[in-house]
């Protein structure tokens, strides 16, 4: 059977390390870290995500400010709040929970966040920095996948890495991060021809396709590492990923389960980015190197 890459254990470990770091910053320098979380409207899934983020902050010792705005909030009102938070010295990170209501331009909102407080790593300046190998915030889900691989002792350098999906928040930053780790990277998408042939070349296969259990063993080379980013709930309310776990597990070398694989890492890396935002430029010798802890 394959190595099961346990995101619950690894994310818990990262959170413990961060908790310790935040405590030391408080004790030795009187510093605190603060994340402002903005939610527009009452989308139930967003409410759950925001709640989990606030819980993680409380656990680690990060202060959180919560802004729950009505669904009819205008873009101008939202951007005015972001502008205020950009200038508040005590606020280190700003997170706007996506998706936003249709009348608000998400890209304009993301651009209005100070890149130094963009702990989601979505601002074009941070994406550009990642692209040219400079320090900056990295999108949390792909950053979490790199941590999963490293902390599971899986070498990336020189490996054939294939990503299914090219979204701005998962596929593209994933490609850049694997490249930074010296993987040989291929990005596939809905227009890729002979997808199975391409994915069967992968030593490390990342599925971020958004289709429940699409990736069966025909897509996977024997012994490959399979990272499942997808999250879906079936009719019975049970969670599953983009990978058909039961079918793929017997042939692969390592695999992330859903739940308990990539999912918990996203929040852990958000917390990591918050702590980095808190200390950036304030503690000599520390900056955002893009490597965890
Ligand atoms: P998107 O829908 O934005 O992107 C999906 C990508 O998959 C697109 O690039 C699309 O191609 C490609 N695709 C769709 N169908 C096919 C196909 N048949 N063959 C090949 N490629 C295909 O999704 P996200 O990247 O935002 O998310 C992907 C999954 O990860 C979702 O299940 C989402 O819920 C989950 N997710 C999980 C997170 C976590 O914390 N665990 C965080 C973020 C997302 P094209 O560009 O050509 O349309």
Domain CATH code at residue 192: 3.40.50.720
CA of 61 to the centre of ligand 1 (A): 33
**268 domain residue, yes or no:** no
- Considering the domain architecture, whether residues 69 and 147 belong to the same structural domain is answered as no
Asked about 53 being catalytic, the answer comes back as yes
Residue 279 located in a structural domain: no
Distance 176 CA to ligand 1 centre (A): 16
Cα 196 from chain centroid (whole Å): 26
- The answer on 65 and 106 residing in a single domain is yes
Q: How confident is the model at residue 281 (pLDDT cuts 50, 70, 90)?
A: low
Torsion of CA 117, 118, 124, 125, to 10 degrees: 30
Rounded CA-CA distance 252/222 in Å is 5
Tell me if 111 sits within 8 A of 124, measured CB to CB: yes
Of 62, 86, 120, the residue at which a domain comes to its end is: 120
Q: 209 CA distance to ligand 1 centroid (A)?
A: 3
Gyration radius (Cα) of the chain, Å: 19
User: Which atom of ligand 1 is nearest to 164's Cα?
Assistant: 21
The boundaries of the domain holding residue 74 are 30-120
* Per-residue pLDDT at 235: 85
Cα 244 → chain centroid: 22
H, E, C per residue of 132-150: CCCCCCCCHHHHHHHHHHH
Claim to verify: residue 193 and residue 153 sit in the same structural domain: yes
Asked, for residue 274, whether it belongs to a domain, the answer is: no
Chosen domain end from 65, 90, 120: 120
Q: What is the tally of structural domains in the chain? A: 2
The whole-number pLDDT of residue 185 equals: 98
**Residues 116, 144 within the same domain:** no
Residue 228's pLDDT is what? 98
Q: What is the mean pLDDT of residues 252-259?
A: 98
**80 and 146 part of one domain:** no
Residue-wise pLDDT tens digits, 63-77: 999 999 999 999 999
Same domain, 114 and 225: no
Average pLDDT, the chain: 95
Beta strands at 232-233 and 225-228: parallel, antiparallel or unpaired: unpaired
The answer to whether residue 206 is domain-embedded is yes
Residue 290 has pLDDT above 50, yes or no: no
pLDDT in the model for residue 292: 43
User: Do 152 and 258 fall into the same domain?
Assistant: yes
Same domain, 82 and 168: no
Q: Best substitution site from 195, 209, 234, 260 to test ligand 1's pocket, by max atoms within 8 Å of Cβ?
A: 209
Q: Is 238 among the catalytic positions?
A: no
pLDDT tens, residue by residue, 124-156: 999 999 999 999 999 999 999 999 999 999 999
Say what the pLDDT of residue 283 is. 64
Question: Hey, whose CA ends up nearest to atom 6 of ligand 1?
Answer: 165
pLDDT tens digits for 19-37? 999 999 999 999 999 999 9
- CATH code for position 89: 3.40.50.10860
Residue 12, domain member (yes or no): no
The pLDDT assigned to 293 comes to 42
Digit-coded pLDDT (tens) for 63-122? 999 999 999 999 999 999 999 999 999 999 999 999 999 999 999 999 999 999 999 999
pTM for this model (two decimals)? 0.95
Among residues 120, 228, 242, 244, which one is catalytic? 120
Provide long-range contacts, Cβ within 8 A and 24+ apart, for 127-130: 127/168, 127/172, 127/173, 130/173, 130/176, 130/177, 130/180, 130/290
State residue 284's pLDDT score: 57
Q: Does residue 97 sit in the same domain as residue 65?
A: yes
| 97 noted as active-site residue | yes
Question: How remote is the CA of residue 208 from the centroid of ligand 1, in Å?
Answer: 4
**Section 207-230 average pLDDT:** 98
Q: Are residues 113 and 148 in the same domain?
A: no
- Say which residue, 237 or 7, is predicted with more confidence: 7
Catalytic residue, candidates 15, 39, 53, 244: 53
Domain membership of residue 93 (yes or no) is yes
Section 265-276 average pLDDT: 98
Give residues with Cβ within 8 angstroms of 262, minimum separation 6.
Answer: 7, 141, 144, 145, 148, 227, 228, 229, 256
Whether 152 and 77 map to the same domain: the answer is no
């Amino acid at each position: 059977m394959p190595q099961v890459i346990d995101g619950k254990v690894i994310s818990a470990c990262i959170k413990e390390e961060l908790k310790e770091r935040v405590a030391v910053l408080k004790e030795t320098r009187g510093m605190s870290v603060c994340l402002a979380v903005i939610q527009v409207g009452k989308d139930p899934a967003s409410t759950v995500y925001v709640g989990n983020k606030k819980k993680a902050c409380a656990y680690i010792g990060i202060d959180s400010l919560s802004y729950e705005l009505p669904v009819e909030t205008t873009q101008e009102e939202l951007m005015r709040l972001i502008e205020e938070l950009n200038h508040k010295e005590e606020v280190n990170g700003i997170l706007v929970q996506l998706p936003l209501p249709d009348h608000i331009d998400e890209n304009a909102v993301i651009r209005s966040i100070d890149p130094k407080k963009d702990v989601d790593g979505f601002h074009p300046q941070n994406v550009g920095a990642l692209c040219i190998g400079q320090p900056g915030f990295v999108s949390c889900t792909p950053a979490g996948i790199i941590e999963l691989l490293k902390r599971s002792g899986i070498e990336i350098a020189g490996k054939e890495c294939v990503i299914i999906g090219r979204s701005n928040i998962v596929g593209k930053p994933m490609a850049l991060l694997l490249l930074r780790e010296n993987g040989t990277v291929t990005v596939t998408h809905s227009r890729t021809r002979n997808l199975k042939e391409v994915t069967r070349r992968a030593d490390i296969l990342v599925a971020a396709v958004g289709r429940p259990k699409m990736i069966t063993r025909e897509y996977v080379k024997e012994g490959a590492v399979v990272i499942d980013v997808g999250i879906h709930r079936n009719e019975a309310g049970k969670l599953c990923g983009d990978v058909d776990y039961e079918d793929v597990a017997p042939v692969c070398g390592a695999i992330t389960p859903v739940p308990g694989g990539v999912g918990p890492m996203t929040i852990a890396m958000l917390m990591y980015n918050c702590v980095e935002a808190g200390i950036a430029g304030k503690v000599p010798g520390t900056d955002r190197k893009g490597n965890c802890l």
